[in-house]
Amino acid sequence: MEILENQDIQQVEYISLLCQWKSRNSSTATLSPTKLLYPPCTQGRPHPQGVLVADGNGLNQLNQPHFVYVDQEDTLYVSDWSNHRVMKWMKGAKEGVIVAGGQGQGSSLKQLSYPQGIFVDKSGSLYVADSANDRIVRWVKNGEEGSIIAGGNNIGSQPNQLNRPIGLLIDNENSLYIADYYNNRIQKFIVDK
């Protein structure tokens, strides 16, 4: 396996998966994804060093981060999976602010349950794949609670249901694409502004 100078996201994910496999199958391999941008398993080859942005579980810490999103102002958003929240770090900030969830695990519109994919639109609204609640929730900028955009009709495989959504994206025509993990499908919804 080679580390390329211009890696794309798929290559980084592949290397990360390979390192996770090695760590499960070797007593000597170690992996600390919240500490390094690139995993430390290049088998003796030099590898680029990442810059620590956040880790742990306080306002300057994370607990099992799953997805990141960077907007046009270089603001970093992180789905903080085990803390059931989405954090936002302004460029150069020493600690983040909670922009969604953060009220413990739950299903109220002020809570998230194992958030996964995130996306921020041009107006600053945050979209969250609220995975264990089987829904997509939109949090308007500076909002105190979210609103259900897709799913939220119990777990299931009907067109209005989701089963552990993990990824999402909104295109230029306001179409929301959802990776509906356990239904093995991609759902498309039109998002109202």
Phi, psi of 123 (to 5 degrees): -85, -5
Query: Over the stretch 120-143, which tens digit does the pLDDT of each residue have?
Result: 999 999 999 999 999 999 999 999
Say how far apart CA 108 and CA 146 lie, in whole Å.
9
Phi, psi of 85 (to 5 degrees): -155, 165
pLDDT of residue 57: 53
**Strands across the sheet with 76-80, in order?**
65-70, 76-80, 85-89, 97-101
Say how far apart CA 180 and CA 166 lie, in whole Å.
7
**100 token code pair:** 């969604």
More confident residue, 56 or 88: 88
| Mean pLDDT computed over 103-116 | 97
- Which residues, other chains included, contact 141 with Cβ-Cβ below 8 Å and sequence gap of 6+? 123, 124, 125, 126
pLDDT of residue 12: 39
* HSE (side-chain half, CA atoms, 13 Å) at 56: 9
| Nearest alpha-carbon partner for 107 in 151, 55, 57, 56 | 151
Q: 55 falls in which pLDDT band (50, 70, 90)?
A: low
Say how far apart CA 100 and CA 110 lie, in whole Å.
7
Query: Over the stretch 58-107, which tens digit does the pLDDT of each residue have?
Result: 677 888 999 999 999 999 999 999 999 999 999 888 889 999 999 999 99
Say how far apart CA 130 and CA 166 lie, in whole Å.
8
Say how far apart CA 36 and CA 34 lie, in whole Å.
6
Say how far apart CA 35 and CA 80 lie, in whole Å.
15
Q: Is the pTM of this model over 0.85?
A: no
Asked if 178 contacts 167 with a C-beta cutoff of 8 angstroms, the reply is: yes
pLDDT of residue 45: 57
- What is the H or E stretch that residue 101 is in? strand 97-101
Phi, psi of 48 (to 5 degrees): -65, 150
More confident residue, 8 or 146: 146
